[in-house]
Amino acid sequence: MNGFTAFLRKELLEHVRNYKVLILLSVSAIFGMMSPLTAKMMPDILANVKVEGMVLKVPEPTFIDAFVQFFNNFSQMGMAILLLVFGGLLSQDLAKGTLIIPLSKGLSRYTVILAKYAAALILWTLSYVLAITIHYGYTLYLFKPISVGHLFFSLFCLWLFGAFLLAVLLMASVITRGTYGGLFVTAAGLGILLICQTIFRMDTFNPLKLVSENVALLTGKAEFDQLLNIAWITGALILAALILAMAVFKKKSI
Amino acid sequence: MTHISDYLPFLIPIIALELILALSALIHILRHRSFRFGNMFIWIIIVLFFQIIGPIIYFTIGRGEDE
């Protein structure tokens, strides 16, 4: 696997030079710090917005509220930023033709796909772990900790969804042409998943559940078994997306 | 009831990180001056006035090639 490590190192170096590392790490740190603070300050913020003839009763924010903010931030803004940052993951290389030389020197096409996915996954994992660490530290300091169920699994679900998005993005960039084709296809795919969830109520296997049920998991309102199934399905989908990407990329003319 | 200023020690690192993002984008704009679309003034305004999301959009889709 010498080609793999070399290409992986080149990818990671490129992420540093393209400011991807800077953006992801700083945004994660900001989210990690902001979420518990927003939860803590919410009563004060609402108290400043006084509406005539209306009494706002805001319950004292709790440990759980900090996680509500965290999951809100990450499942919406976080995922959008992840897509934006990795939008040109493969398509930019294809458009510029930078892959021609390493491929003609004997680098396997499978290696390209796997190394690109691994590099993106490493970066996403790093920034997510950073966000969780900061968030957890702040939350412990600002709130009284209570025991919540399935905290680790709940956080893992969000990570898995990020990994799923990256795999779909990679597959979509292989299939489409142009610099932003993959981004559009992934956004369209997310839209379809959203429609499946809201209109057709296809809950039993929809990966979107991984990012919509996190808080319910913490409070014990969600079914753990169903989410575990979805997590397995999502894992299988990630594998399928990667295999499909490798199969199509082998046939693709560069 | 607590005051917003009580949270200042917590807010400073957030503001600092946002400033780092905005400043690194600003420096990049001033040193490269090549964009995929738009001109320098539009990007400076976007980067400085849209916190967090402005610099991200610049680095991901606004930035020109490095050559």
Closest-CA distance, A120 to chain B, in angstroms, reads 15
Interface ipTM > 0.90: no
What is residue B51's three-state secondary structure?
Answer: coil
Contact criterion met (CB < 8 Å) for B10 and A19: no
Q: Please report residues of A whose CB lies closer than 8 A to that of B21.
A: 22-23, 26-27
Q: Which residue of B has its CA nearest to A139?
A: B10
**Residues of chain A with confidence (pLDDT) below 70:** 1, 50-58
pLDDT of residue A2: 80
**Residues of chain B with confidence (pLDDT) below 50:** 1, 67
Please tell me the distance from the alpha carbon of residue A127 to that of residue A122, in angstroms, as a whole number.
9
Distances (CA, A) of A84 to A46, A101, A205, A208: 32, 27, 26, 19
pLDDT of residue A148: 79
Which tokens hold the place of B52?
Answer: 């967090």
Please write the tens of the pLDDT for every residue from A97-149: 888 888 888 888 899 999 999 999 999 999 999 999 999 999 888 888 887 77
pLDDT of residue B66: 60
pLDDT of residue B2: 57
Structural domain for A87, as ranges: 2-251
Contact criterion met (CB < 8 Å) for B59 and A18: yes
Q: Please report residues of B whose CB lies closer than 8 A to that of A44.
A: 1-4
pLDDT of residue A40: 85
The domain ranges of chain B are 34-67
pLDDT of residue A52: 67
**Measured on CA atoms in the order A180, B39, B59, A68, is the torsion positive or negative?**
negative
pLDDT of residue A93: 83
pLDDT of residue A131: 94
Q: Which residue of B has its CA nearest to A83?
A: B60
- Report the domain count for chain A: 1
